[in-house]
Structure 1
């Protein structure tokens, strides 16, 4: 008797996704996320600000610190966009007007702005992105969309 067809498998619910980031110097990264990004940072390495949460962990070796490389361009997206022009490690949705304020705030605190705010389109949507980088070069992309 085959019970596979007779028993429905209950679908479980996934919770919040938290990114874990290996860093070269845990104390330096905790300080950056606290002072530059204005996160609440605990001794466990949890760095939280509003809806953003990452866990910072000390890497065993510098070889283990690996920000994402640039992805391959694609021509099969549902819009004319072919993909980012730089590697993304974290993508954070922010309000359209908040994006400029956050970039200014981070810049004034000495944070590295890898890509100043820029706009483009995805079909009927207008997007605005900017990119900041943490001390290990992880790219944190701030992004917003609105109907164009």
Structure 2
């Protein structure tokens, strides 16, 4: 890895997700989310990459709960209403098609696409849950004209 200013450089970030049934999760990420999935547990589609690993015990599978609201963001937004495990940036015009494709393949819909605004930004999000309850947010943003 090359160095930057003598401090080193972080490489690509990959999330590791403990799952209750590796084969079931591999099938969901492949068949529903459209990922390329290998026998190691890597599930990748476009810019999203997670490593699925078999949990040693059911209590090790722990999707994120909702975060505490925060009044000191730079806008009036105080944080999400649901727990987020993965936020996937998508194009504004792509979100509805991606969501419809995932839903059509049996995706577990946690929240239909919704829009909102904070500051000078408009956002559109939709939430999908995997078999263990991990929430994947499909999120798009654009500057308010």
If the TM-score is normalised by the length of the shorter chain, which range does it land in?
A: over 0.9
- How far the C-alpha of 1:107 sits from its partner, in A, is 0.5
Q: 1:138 aligns with which of 128, 134, 143?
A: 134
User: What's the counterpart of residue 110 of structure 1?
Assistant: 106
Name the SS for the 1:17 alignment partner.
coil
Asked if residue 22 in structure 1 is aligned to residue 18 in structure 2, the reply is yes
Deviations 1:5-52 (A, max 9, x none): xxxx81111011000000000000000000000100000000000000
Structure 2: distance between partners of 1:44 and 1:52? 16
Q: What are the superposed Cα offsets for residues 112-142 of structure 1, whole Å, 9 maximum, x if unpaired? A: 1101111111200101111000000000001
Match of 1:4 in 2: none
Hey, what's the Cα distance between the residues in 2 that align with 1:122 and 1:20? Answer: 31
Find the partner of 1:84 among 77, 80, 89.
80
Q: 1:3 matched to which residue of 2?
A: none
Confirm whether residue 123 of structure 1 aligns to residue 116 of structure 2. Answer: no
**Which residue in the other structure is 1:66 paired with?**
62
Query: Structure 1: 5+ residue runs without aligned partners?
Result: 1-8
Give aligned pairs, total: 140
Q: Name the SS of the counterpart of 2:93 in structure 1.
A: helix
User: Are 1:36 and 2:24 counterparts?
Assistant: no
SS in 2 for 1:137: coil
Q: Which has the larger radius of gyration?
A: 1
Structure 1's consecutive aligned runs of 4 or more residues displaced over 4 angstroms after TM superposition are none
State the Cα RMSD in Å. Answer: 0.8
